Structure 1
Amino acid sequence: MDFEIRTVAEQEAEHFWRLGHEAFGFPTTPSDPGSLDRPGAISVIAMDGDTMAGRMVDSDFDCWFGGRLVSTSGIGGVTVAMEYRGQGLLRPLFTELFRIAKGRGAVLSALYPSSAGIYRSLGYEVIGTADPARFPISALARISTPDGIRTRRATIADVPAIREVYDVWAAANNGPLSRRGASFPPDDENLIKSFTGITIAERDGVIIGYTSWNRGSSFGPEGTLNVFDLIASERDGYRALLAALGSYASIVGWVKVQNASGLDLVLELFPTSEWQVLDSQPYMMKILDVVGALETRGYPAVISTTLEFGVSGDPITGIDGHYRLELADGKAVCTRLGDLGPETSVPVFTPNGLALAYAGSQSSAGIRTVGGLSGPTDHDDTFGAIFGGRPVRIRDHY
């Protein structure tokens, strides 16, 4: 069956949102009926005549890898109408969206999958998980505010410093969104209004941490205080924020941390083992442009090396080939040397395996175990050293 694949038109907004409702239960129309205007977002649809058979959205993000920002296509709202499922509609939709995303400079793509297998066949791989968790607020009973640290409610004037605390934290990890750029128009007032409160921890007037939280309507032993970000630049900042959250102990029984991922640093300060992961949501990534992705991210400045590798098996973006990577002073020069020959003597990644290596989420040995890397093993430790060192952390759902 032939489909028309194109960007959505404003007059198709209602159909676009209704199709999203079928898959996700979202409202059938947006809050501003008839509008598809969303900063940094481009929507692509598949039409079968006058029928909208599928849709997806690309969001213009920057993500942190190796301490540098990398342009990323964040995929969301992937929907195929029930009557068109199983007809190979996703591939042409992704092909068009990748073309658009690469045109604006995106070298990576990432998404939260409804089914990992579907997206794995397109070259995506799971690099980490978002792990919302909760803990009894009684776990904070033994934590007190450190001397010299003050907690207070944030104001609009504090927002630039809050954003800086987030940036410092995010740059030390692999994967977090920058929360800046086209998809995050600066709106300090709206950030403050988005939560019941943003509580900051400061020393001598300098903000060293913050937590954003919503009170909700529940109370009593099963009542919950909903926390979104809980981030600090030092131990005392975390302790002060945890102590502040603990002041709700007479009102609610639980604290839910929505933006948790992997082994959260907060666990290093917990006096108990009562952290309960409520869900584990896979997060997948794909490399759209090998040269661009490898040259944009950062690397350990102490490593200077040159190595060659191949990529084989990409179904859409044409990243297959033989590459040379030269590293010095924390930066890379990557060159595509040509196609892979039948008798290649370099290690070869699948697109999925390259995503795992790039994110630093698996060792070369692990990637080989699942079929993502084959060929000579001489550079396995080097791959681990240049891509590793920063844990994968996911904060924002889209």
Structure 2
Amino acid sequence: MRVRELTVDDNVAYRSLSAGAFGGGFEAVESRPFSAGETAIGIGSEQLPGGAPGVVAAGARIRHDRITLGGGVVDCGGISGLAVHPAHRGDGLFRELITATIARCAQEQLPMSMLYPSHPAIYRRAGYQVVASVQRLLVPIVDLQHLPKMPDRRLVPVTGASMPRLHGLYRELTAEDNGMLTREGPLFPAGLPSGGWSALLLEDHDGIAHGYVSWTRTAGENGGAGLEVHEILGRTREDRLALLRSLGSWSTVTESVVLRVRTEDPVLDVLPGSGARPVDGLPLVMMRVIDTAAAFEARRAPAGLAGAVRLVVEDDTVPEGTCRSAGSWLLSAADGRVAASPDEGSAPEDGSIPGDTGVPDAASSPGGEAAEVLGTARWDIHAAGLLLMGGRTLADARRLGLSAIADPAAEQFLDALLAGPRPSVLDAF
């Protein structure tokens, strides 16, 4: 494989490639390191027929992020800036690079991988599955102006000194979500974000934070909204109403705001009026399982759920050994924990789930005691990506045309284990 890690000497060439592929300019200043918390890989043009030295023929960056998953947290490789030089397109470099990217995620122990596709089909062929969309609403400010004032609440500006409080509140209020980045360093600096970002904390009179709203003031060209609201997070319904009410004060300078929301966002339940409408375009979020066992063990089991199933995951989208997505495991849950141990039994070669699969009567639970094995399930890699991110049943996966079959008891167990909110992602890269 010709893919290698990009170095400081490749930085200018890679930024030129990325700017040419995705638009926007860049300053061709002296070479500098890639961002901390990222791994850059690529293929040098000089290795290829007709290539030239000093040119990156294909490249990508892997972010070392962490995302919420089933009440726990899992490391995730965020893929960005994957591009192929126009001179080398059509020569199979994309496939070579995306396979190497998946292998690098496995090497760096990132059990999940995330990306925002411009063309989902080409990433789906590499095992990525659409799990969510980034949702934005255009909200008339007139709908927010007459919300009642909430007692025992006040708004205070967010400063560099209070950013740790905001970060802590963000992690607390999104801990039970699926797919949300934990926003830790070095990819997320501790200080105030740049680019005109502003925020208000919502406090009670004892100074305890109950929520916040963040935004960026924009020009609002061509009649568009002049305020991009990144997120509204509050502990209670009343807190979210108070934060929405604060946006009504912008009526003197703009008529509407663009509000970014999570899937099934609690803010939608308190949004007044009927004037909100979706903003054109719903950027998709795709996820891929890199290490099935590690992804399961990052989750928490629901209280009271106990038992075990045999799970077979099939992945024919990348060469065998690229990552640790495919295999057979004894998956067990007990005392709020999940364990996935390699299954020494053999899976039926025809892909069926027969009544007697040879599954042992018991498997070792997370606490070490025996757990009853309820049955067998078999997924393809796309069903694994969809289901492991939570909020979907095996029946949902089948309705999408994915392969997710199971014995009835195993299906019931897995649906209970993977229940929760559908994935949401509020960060873009």
Tell me what 2:142 maps to: 138
Q: Report the equivalent of 1:275.
A: 276
Query: Unpaired runs of 5+ in structure 1?
Result: none
SS in 1 for 2:179: coil
- Conserved in 2, the CA contact under 8 Å of 1:46 and 1:54? yes
The 2-side partners of 1:311 and 1:290 are apart by 8
> How far apart, CA to CA, are the structure 2 residues paired with 1:63 and 1:164?
15
* CA drift at 1:299: 2.3
1:216 aligns with 2:223: no
- Of residues 141-150 and 311-320 in structure 1, the stretch that sits farther from structure 2 once superposed is 311-320
Counting matched residue pairs gives 391
Could you say if the C-alpha distance between residues 286 and 222 of structure 1 is closer, same or farther in structure 2, counting changes exceeding 3 Å?
A: closer
Query: How far has the Cα of 1:5 moved from its partner?
Result: 0.9
Aligned to 1:86: 90
What does 1:74-223 correspond to in 2, within 5 Å?
74-185=78-189, 187-188=190-191, 190-191=192-193, 194-203=195-204, 204-218=206-220, 223=225
Alignment match, 1:237 = 239
Mapped contact 2:68–2:181 kept (Cα < 8 A): yes
Amino acid paired to 2:381: P
Residues 41-80 of structure 1: matches in 2 within 5 Å? 41-49=38-46, 50=53, 51-80=55-84
Aligned pairs for 1:315-334 within 5 A: 315-316=317-318, 317-334=323-340
1:219 Cα deviation after fit? 9.0
Report the TM-score when normalising by structure 1: 0.92
Give the conservation status (yes or no) of the 8 Å contact 2:199–2:215. Answer: yes
Code of the aligned partner of 1:368: R
Task: Give the direction of change, closer, same or farther, for the CA distance of 1:376–1:271 in structure 2 (3 Å limit).
Answer: same
SS at match of 1:157: coil
User: In structure 1, what is the equivalent of residue 17 of structure 2?
Assistant: 19
Moved over 4 A (4+): 218-223
Q: CA RMSD in A?
A: 2.1
Q: Would the aligned equivalents of 1:221 and 1:252 in 2 still touch at CA under 8 Å?
A: no
User: Do 1:220 and 1:253's aligned partners in 2 also have CA atoms closer than 8 Å?
Assistant: no
Is 2:409 the counterpart of 1:381?
no
Question: Which segment drifts farther, 66-75 or 269-278?
Answer: 269-278
In the superposition, the TM-score normalised over structure 2's length comes to 0.85
For residues 234-271 of structure 1, what are the alpha-carbon distances to aligned partners after superposition, in whole Å with 9 as ceiling and x for unaligned? Answer: 222211211111011122101112x3232322111122
Superposed CA offset, 1:287-337 (max 9, x none): 111111111122212211211121113423253222110101221110121
Q: Does structure 1 conserve the Cα–Cα contact (< 8 Å) formed by 2:382 and 2:402?
A: no
2:390 matched residue in structure 1: 360
Higher mean C-alpha displacement, 94-103 vs 160-169: 94-103
User: CA contact under 8 A between 1:295 and 1:331: conserved in structure 2?
Assistant: yes
Distance 2:141 2:256 in 1: 5
Deviations 1:98-157 (A, max 9, x none): 333223321111110111111111111011110122111111022122011111212233
Determine which structure has more spread, i.e. the larger CA radius of gyration: 2
Cα pair 2:105 2:290 within 8 Å, conserved: no
